[in-house]
Amino acid sequence: MSHGNIDSDHQARLGGLNLTTYVTGFVLALILTAIPFGAVMFGWFSPATTLIVIAVMAVIQILVHLFCFLHLDFSEDNRWNTASGAFTLLILVILVGGTIWLFASLMPRTMLMGG
Sign for the pseudo-dihedral over CA of 71, 72, 74, 80: positive
User: Which has more pLDDT, 3 or 84?
Assistant: 84
pTM of the complete model beyond 0.85? no
pLDDT digits (tens, 9 = 90+) for 92-113: 889 988 988 988 888 777 776 5
Domain extents for the chain? 1-71, 79-115
> What is the bridge-based pairing of β-strands 13-14 and 17-18?
antiparallel
Model confidence over 4-59: pLDDT tens digits?
555 544 444 444 567 888 898 899 999 999 999 999 999 899 988 999 999 999 98
CA 22, CA 86: separation in Å to the nearest integer? 23
